[in-house]
Amino acid sequence: MRKLLNIIFVFELAMFGLIILGIMPRWIVPYFVLILAGYVIFAPIEDGVTFFVRSIPFFIAIPVTATFDNFNTWRIISAILFLKWFFGNSVSEILEWVRQPFTRLKKLNFSSILLIVILLFAILSITQAENYLLAVKRGLYFINLSLIGIVAYDLFNKKEQFRENIIKNLAIPTIIVAMVGLAQVVSTYFVDIYQFMALWGEGIQCRQFGAEWCNIAVRVGNTWLAYFGDQLSLRVFSLFPDSHSFPIFLLLGLPSVFVVALKKLSPEKFINSQSIFKTASVNKTVILIPVIFLAAILSGTRGIWAAGAGTLFVVLFLVFLLKKYGHASQQKIFTYLSSYLILFFLLFTVAFPIFASPQFLVSKGNSLILRNRIKSIIDFGETSNSQRIEIWKKSLVSIVKHPLLGVGIGNFPVVLKQDLRLAKAGSSAHNLYLQIAAEMGIPALFLSLCFFWLLIKNAYQNFIESRNQTFIIYNATALIFIPWVLLYLLTDAAIFDERAFLIFVITTAAVLNKKTSAKTI
């Protein structure tokens, strides 16, 4: 069955490429999706979930009608997988819930209870919404996004080998979108800005996400370019709608890339930190890590850069914690894995000439664009920063006015006194935590923070308790990249993009599952 899975995935990639490049017409997409749905229906559910994980960035919008062409394929595939899992595994459990609701409730773990209560606050916040329909649609959107996480978590709990396989498979889309991002950079040396926008804005993005989004990207605004006076540089976004969700996907996919890149290390060398340093230098697949770091830097997302610096303090604290509680071997392993962060900062020396180069067939007056962009991180007078600060102030005012249930999920534009239709154009608090509190209330924010803390705590416990090399590497690097993303979300709410949220859901399912292998590495 794995052979068929690989064939279907290659078929999907080929069709995806032909469609977004305009070689094949979009009207063929519904028939293409029917083939994918048929495979997921009849394949073993484990293969279906594996296919879904590989395909997260490659799911394409379905042109249902001329005016409704943005319904994405992942919605159908995730619903099919959930229904297969539900009717195959959970009908008897539902009957148990009916017969013994309180007994079954006691068996729920703390993370499940947190998510249920957060969902409850999301539902209650609809009562405060100015636009009920928008709130309900937003709630259904997040429920749809979460279905694959429920299925994956249950399968991970029952089959440890499957969790290991999914972790490795997450590396596939991460590597592919990083490579597409670098190819995107190369393309800027052969086309002017108008040709680039015609190719990506009016072409690829329209075919990938539908007319509604590409109209927003082309006519309302996008995050694809960095401007400093007459200077213009690409902010890499690859196969994503913006240059913010792209690096989030890369960071959350990096733990899986580490697993794949270091799989050739023998157990003895993996335990011995000195041998690790000697061996890793000749492990050719390790080159994937700096490639992905470079792609993240070239996204031009300053919050990602700043959060990377903040992650250094998290790493130092965790090294201290491991030493304090006597986890000597884990400390060596974590120190080695976290040493790769040095590459991220060194790669700015590679990014500098790329940002400074004459992209879009236009020469640049000087080579200061990257330096100016880095300096602008702490320039509160800079336009983007000053606008963010103003939005944060208005968000805090709204939270004070609506502390319990917020203004309603999906209704954030109300906070800024904007047209509610701007929610689709990216109207947000530019801070995940303020957005949660503004839309759903302070209690929902508190519960969300508890959930994030639990996620990091589980990664730490899995790391020190596991004896399986895959889980050790994955959880140790998750302790680096999950905090990195959470720190970045202080300046953005791009995790709400469906591709970023889906990989976060899968990552969460893998980390929250605490079953660890008894075999030693």
> What confidence score (pLDDT) does residue 34 get?
97
10-24, 382-396, 474-488: least confidently modelled range: 382-396
> What confidence score (pLDDT) does residue 51 get?
97
Mind listing the pLDDT tens digit for each residue in 277-329?
555 444 677 899 999 999 999 999 989 999 999 999 999 999 999 998 888 88
Mind listing the pLDDT tens digit for each residue in 353-378?
888 888 888 876 655 565 666 655 56
- Percentage of residues in the chain having pLDDT higher than 90: 64
Q: How far apart are CA 5 and CA 55, in angstroms?
A: 11
> What confidence score (pLDDT) does residue 213 get?
84
Residue among 435, 442, 511, 432 at smallest CA distance from 477 = 511
Mean pLDDT for the stretch of residues 80-106: 67
At residue 112, the 3 state secondary structure works out as helix
Tell me how far the alpha carbon of residue 72 is from its chain's centroid.
17
Cβ neighbour number for residue 230 with a 10 Å cutoff? 10
Q: What confidence tier does 520 reach under pLDDT thresholds 50, 70, 90?
A: very low
Here the tokens at position 248 are: 């989030």
> What confidence score (pLDDT) does residue 461 get?
95
417 backbone φψ class: left, alpha, beta (φ>0; ψ -120 to 50): left
Between 227 and 198, the more confident residue is 198
Max mean pLDDT range (205-219, 349-363, 478-492):
478-492
Q: Is the pLDDT of residue 379 over 60?
A: no
Q: What confidence tier does 383 reach under pLDDT thresholds 50, 70, 90?
A: low
Q: Is the pLDDT of residue 275 over 60?
A: no
Q: What confidence tier does 518 reach under pLDDT thresholds 50, 70, 90?
A: very low
Q: Is the pLDDT of residue 98 over 60?
A: no
What does pLDDT average to over the chain?
Answer: 87
Question: In sequence order, what E strands does 68-173 have?
Answer: 71-72
Q: How does 377-390 read in b/e, with b if 16+ C-beta sit within 10 Å?
A: eeeeebeebeebee
At residue 406, the 3 state secondary structure works out as coil
Is there a contact between 202 and 218 (Cβ–Cβ < 8 Å)? Answer: yes
Q: How far apart are CA 364 and CA 358, in angstroms?
A: 6
Mind listing the pLDDT tens digit for each residue in 402-453?
999 999 998 988 888 876 665 555 678 889 999 999 999 999 999 999 999 9
